[in-house]
């Protein structure tokens, strides 16, 4: 998939006006999920925007209680109904947990794709071994969404995305705000006369095959996050951020 460097993560967004504003600002990749309980909000924002639906990439995710083979299609149809769309562009398996069984779940998701309810199938929060298993049952992994930010990232998942040439979609690129207190990020931001948020997003998107979906609500932050992808960090600055001692992930299993 050809995804823009910065999209909109919508977890916690409950106002359709935010989604509409994001689209008006230039966001073309919108990410939601069943567990966010805001697909209707995202759909309303899409409907209210002036941008053609065909110009948007809309993604949602099947939660772990919707991964039994017979549940996949009705759960997908329920998401589409909430979104007010005939199809999404990208449908993820949110986590390989709960009712997930690769031999049953993934063929059922492929069947949904073949029926035209989604254009692409993605995975989220899989480990390298689970990606290997998934390839046995998917025509193609279109994207893999994972936690990826200066304080937590897994090189093995980046390597897999680059080796198999699919986008790694980085969520929580600001580490839940913790990057605002990280000395290395603060120092680099000061040198560029920009914000820690911009440096973090620029670092994430500096990697081949990596895009990101930060959440923002205000127009100023939406615009700043989009612009951050244009910030060019030096190789030395990227290496300094890579050298930050990694912490535990924000969203463990």
Query: Given this model, what pLDDT does residue 248 score?
Result: 75
Residue 95, domain extent: 8-175+207-216
Residue 43 belongs to a domain: yes
Residue 2 belongs to a domain: no
Q: Across the chain, how many H-helices and E-strands are there?
A: 10, 8
| CATH number, domain with residue 89 | 3.20.20.100
pTM of the model: 0.97
Total domains, the chain: 1
43 close to 69: Cβ distance less than 8 angstroms: no
pLDDT in tens, the chain (253 residues): 999 999 999 999 999 999 999 999 999 999 999 999 999 999 999 999 999 999 999 999 999 999 999 999 999 999 999 999 999 999 999 999 999 999 999 999 999 999 999 999 999 999 999 999 999 999 999 999 999 999 999 999 999 999 999 999 999 999 999 999 999 999 999 999 999 999 999 999 999 999 999 999 999 999 999 999 999 999 999 999 999 998 878 887 7
Is 224 within a domain? no
Phi-psi region of 215 (alpha: psi -120 to 50; beta: other; left: phi over 0): beta
pLDDT at residue number 246: 85
DSSP labels, 4-69 = -SB-EE-TT---HHHHHHHHHHT--EEE--GGGT-HHHHHHHHHHSSS-GGG-EEEEEE-GGG-SH
91 near 76, Cβ under 8 Å? yes
233 assigned to some structural domain: no
What pLDDT sits at residue 247? 80
Residue 73 makes CB contacts below 8 A (sequence gap 6+) with 108, 111, 112, 115, 117
19 assigned to some structural domain: yes
Catalytic residues: 36
Which segments of 82-134 are extended strands (E)?
Answer: 88-93, 118-124
């Amino acid at each position: 998939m050809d995804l823009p460097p910065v999209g909109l993560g919508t977890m916690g967004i409950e106002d359709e006006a935010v989604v509409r504003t994001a689209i008006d600002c230039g966001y073309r990749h919108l990410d939601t999920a069943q567990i966010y309980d805001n697909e209707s909000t995202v759909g309303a924002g899409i409907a209210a925007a002036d941008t053609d639906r065909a110009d948007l990439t809309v993604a949602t995710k099947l939660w772990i209680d919707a991964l039994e083979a017979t549940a996949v299609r009705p759960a997908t149809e329920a998401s589409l109904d909430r979104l007010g769309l005939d199809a999404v562009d990208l449908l993820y398996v949110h986590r390989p947990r709960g009712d997930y069984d690769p031999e049953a779940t993934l063929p059922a998701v492929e069947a949904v794709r073949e029926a035209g309810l989604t254009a692409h199938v993605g995975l989220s929060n899989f480990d390298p071994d689970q990606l290997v298993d998934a390839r046995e049952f998917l025509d193609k992994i279109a994207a893999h969404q994972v936690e990826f930010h200066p304080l937590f990232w897994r090189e093995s998942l980046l390597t897999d995305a680059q080796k198999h040439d699919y986008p790694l979609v980085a969520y929580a690129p600001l580490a839940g705000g913790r990057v605002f207190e990280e000395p290395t990020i603060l120092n680099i931001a000061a040198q560029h006369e920009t914000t820690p948020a911009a440096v973090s997003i620029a670092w994430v998107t500096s990697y081949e095959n990596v895009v990101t979906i930060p959440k923002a609500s205000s127009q100023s932050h939406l615009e700043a996050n989009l612009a951050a992808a244009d910030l060019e960090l030096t190789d030395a600055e990227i290496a300094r951020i890579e050298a930050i001692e990694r912490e535990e992930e924000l969203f463990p299993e």
